[in-house]
Amino acid sequence: MADHLVVVDFEATCEENARIYPQEIIEFPAVLVNAATGLLVSEFRTYVRPRHHPRLTAFCTKLTGIQQDQVDGGVEISEALAKHDAWLAASGADKNRLAVVTWGDWDCKTMLEFECRFKGIAKPAYFDRWVNLRVPFEAAFGPGRRNLQEAIREAGLQWIGRLHCGLDDARNTAYLLVELMRRGVAISITGSLAPALAPKKQDEIRPQPPAQPVGPNLSMWGGGAGAVPCCCYCGVTSRCGMVMAPGPMQGRCFYGCGNCTPAFGPKCPFFLWAA
């Protein structure tokens, strides 16, 4: 097992009862835990400036407590990743002996993976494998859907801080992690991202005639003989599409969720540019 466990809990742009696309991380917090002693070694947080939806919604501010001036003074996600790497090094954590811990799979499997793919950013490899703390928690306390606050109470701990503040959520997840370790619960990797298959050259992509568009700027097709045989987060074959909006990306092909329908749109945020 790892020498250190780094607990992350991202906050992202959001709107009440609506989907923001693309969703972007606005708070990047982490708590470093010594795997041998269970001590919290260090903390990290930086706010991240969203590129596509720079103005936070009133709902997002109310939910997370993050203010507009905090994201305006934040950094790009690429710089946030670099700062996180530098913090780990300064804290004495070996990235090859490190395990990421989350509550749920969303942070690593969906949010960070999608944003880095969408923006063409290379992320550290240690984010490709993680411990979903729900799994060892249910092994100790029994199956059942619980949110993080409920799990904290069930473990006999006291919630500390503000719910949906990323750093406070990461701290409470770290306290729960340490409590499970104290009880002798096995902590091991539960999720990972398989390497994406390399896309073919754009001139080899032969999509089928377009079906119903999924939005004003994007149009989706079925798989087709020339489509990349990779899967979206739903586990089904991704679908080929093309940017329709005028601009520098017009005519460029991409791969999106294979569960996309005209009525409801994509069911997951998978996105990959074709080469």
Q: What is the DSSP string of 123-189?
A: --GGGGEEEETHHHHHHHH-S----HHHHHHHTT----S-TT-HHHHHHHHHHHHHHHHHTT-----
Using 50, 70 and 90 to split pLDDT, how confident is the model at 273?
Answer: confident
- C-alpha 262/C-alpha 166 separation (Å) is 34
| Annotation says 53 is catalytic | no
Q: Nearest Cα to 20, choosing from 215, 193, 162, 213?
A: 215
Using 50, 70 and 90 to split pLDDT, how confident is the model at 260?
Answer: confident
**What's the mean pLDDT when you consider all of the chain?**
85
pLDDT at 272 over 90: no
Active-site residue identified among 4, 27, 113, 164: 164
What value does the mean pLDDT take over residues 121-144? 96
Tens of pLDDT, residue by residue over 14-67, are 999 988 889 999 999 999 999 999 999 999 999 999 999 999 999 999 999 999
Tens of pLDDT, residue by residue over 170-179, are 999 999 999 9
pLDDT at 106 over 70: yes
Tokens of 22: 């693309």
Domain residue ranges of the chain, discontinuous segments joined by +: 4-192, 238-273
Amino acid 152: pLDDT: 98
CA distances (Å), origin 121, targets 38, 176, 272: 33, 32, 12
| Annotation says 11 is catalytic | yes
pLDDT at 128 over 90: yes
What value does the mean pLDDT take over residues 184-212? 59
- Which residue has better confidence, 257 or 37? 37
Active-site residue identified among 4, 11, 113, 179: 11
User: What is the architecture, at CATH level 2, of domain 4-192?
Assistant: 2-Layer Sandwich (3.30)
pLDDT at 219 over 60: no
- Which residue has better confidence, 21 or 235? 21
What value does the mean pLDDT take over residues 124-149? 96
Using 50, 70 and 90 to split pLDDT, how confident is the model at 241?
Answer: confident
Amino acid 264: pLDDT: 63
Amino acid 198: pLDDT: 44
Would the pTM of this model clear 0.85, i.e. be above it?
Answer: no
